[in-house]
Amino acid sequence: MKLNYFLVPLIFLLLCNCKTKEKEENSSPSTPPIKPNVIVILADDLGYNDVGFNGSKDIKTPNIDQLANNGTIFTNGYVSYAVCGPSRAGLITGRYQGRFGFSRNPLFAPKDSLQGLPTSEETLADALGKSGYQNMAIGKWHLGAHESQRPLKRGFNEFFGFLTGGHKYFPEQWIRQDISEVTSQGDAYNTKLLRNNERVEENEYLTDALSREAVSFVERHAETPFFLYLAYNAPHTPLQATEKYLSRYPDIKDKKRKTYAAMVSAVDDGVGNLLNKLKELNIENNTIVFFLSDNGGPEQHGANNGELREGKGSLHEGGIRVPFAVQWTGTIPAGKVYNNPVISLDIFATAVALAGISPKNEVDGTNLIPYLKGQDKSVPHKHLFWRHFDAEAFSIRQGDIKLVKDKKGDIGLYNLANDISETNSIDNDSLRLDLKNKHDQWNSTNIDPVFLGLKHNKMYNQEHPNRFVNGEKY
């Protein structure tokens, strides 16, 4: 067979073209991964031992337990502060809140732009919004009531809930039409709920209403990446529950404990409704779901922290170690228990890493996914730190060793591996000094509180006599 020499140049060009095309295809960037949806479910004042996955016997939490068992349980899961407001500020920014002076529970002061999260701070909603996420905050805000600090000004596209640190649960008690009718700090618990910036009429028990709105948001945004911050105020006081939930606990005789249990049960129902909706919409595998409490439980109000020492407000384990779990079906192995210390600040770091975002500010959290998948065998944190400014209390955890100066001024050094209840202080002066020096070095990066807090309500009123005069209409 003779080769047609007129075809040689054509064949050569075709071969070159194929090689060039192959090279271009091989060098082209791979298709970016689908950005996962992010859901943070935050309970309020939930005791460490008040969920089934941490051993609760009297309170039933089948749906929360399902979330935990579908993913990873953190046995050493912490928050960055022992009370609500600062803890939430740390979670939503991924930064120790002392870095920006949020070391107190903010007052409800809608005229004061300093009473809340500084505008210098980037929220998780701000960050994810840069990557096309639709974001909604539901429930308790507690990061400032001034117009500049409200959810729609802090990266959220939608909001349903209330601005203050707590709220009554029965709609018939929501007698304040807007902020202009509020006359005191506690009176803010009586306001009607907000949908974005408008007051709305609501007829459902508060926890049920918040759960309903969460399911609705997921339904409306199932086709786009979303971030849902579902911040329940239950089981925070006032202890109020409907008969639907109270009737589930006929054997609990203590009235506080029974009502508290009923309030936790309402949260559990909401978690179940949300998880079922993810399955129904076939987006469960593309949604990472965190569950935790904002601080330890106040046992005087019905909570149970189990073996942990003390509770809400304390830097002992009962105030800062919380129920904490994460589910990401198909990515995070199910049925796992993770024992290395993690902290709520890690939620921000994990979410922005998954979304491929560089945060505005330096964050203190760690992307947990490599650790949970077994890709990184080291520990997420060599040290964790806490500071309670007004109590002059501090704590640091290094491995299993924890140094704590409590609000009474007592200093203890504990090995949490064999003394989870912090009962036997270790006699080791050199280790104490070393940990104290490390805490001092960390604390040098913090600033003093930038606003008066909840415990300074009387002082604040004296300094701001027009706090509730001619209040805003919303």
Question: Using CA atoms, how far apart are residues 319 and 82, in angstroms rounded to an integer?
Answer: 5
> Which residue ranges form the domains of the chain, and what is each CATH number?
37-381 (3.40.720.10)
278-290: average pLDDT: 98
The share of the chain scoring above pLDDT 70, in percent, equals: 92
Chain segment 71-99, per-residue pLDDT in tens = 999 999 999 999 999 999 999 999 999 99
Catalytic residue positions, numbered: 84, 142
CB 402 within 8 A of CB 428: no
Chain segment 140-159, per-residue pLDDT in tens = 999 999 999 999 999 999 99
**What is the model's pLDDT at position 114?**
95
- Band the pLDDT of 471: cuts 50, 70, 90: low
Report the 10 Å Cβ neighbour count for 216.
15
* SS percent in the chain: helix, strand, coil, step 5: 35, 15, 50
**What is the model's pLDDT at position 34?**
75
Residue 123 has pLDDT above 50, yes or no: yes
**What is the model's pLDDT at position 472?**
60
**What is the model's pLDDT at position 474?**
52
How confident is the prediction for the chain on average, in pLDDT?
93
- Band the pLDDT of 469: cuts 50, 70, 90: confident
- Tokens 């502060």 -> residue: 81
Q: The pTM is what? A: 0.93
Report the chain's C-alpha Rg in angstroms. 25
DSSP assignments along 276-292, one per residue:
HHHHHTT-GGGEEEEEE
Q: Please, which residues bridge with residue 136 across strands?
A: 158, 228
- Band the pLDDT of 278: cuts 50, 70, 90: very high
417-421: average pLDDT: 98
Closest by alpha carbon to 264, among 290, 302, 296, 294? Answer: 302
Chain segment 204-217, per-residue pLDDT in tens = 999 999 999 999 99
42-58: average pLDDT: 98
**What is the model's pLDDT at position 309?**
98
Closest by alpha carbon to 331, among 366, 278, 374? Answer: 374
Residue 15 has pLDDT above 60, yes or no: no
Closest by alpha carbon to 124, among 232, 221, 42, 223? Answer: 42
**What is the model's pLDDT at position 30?**
36
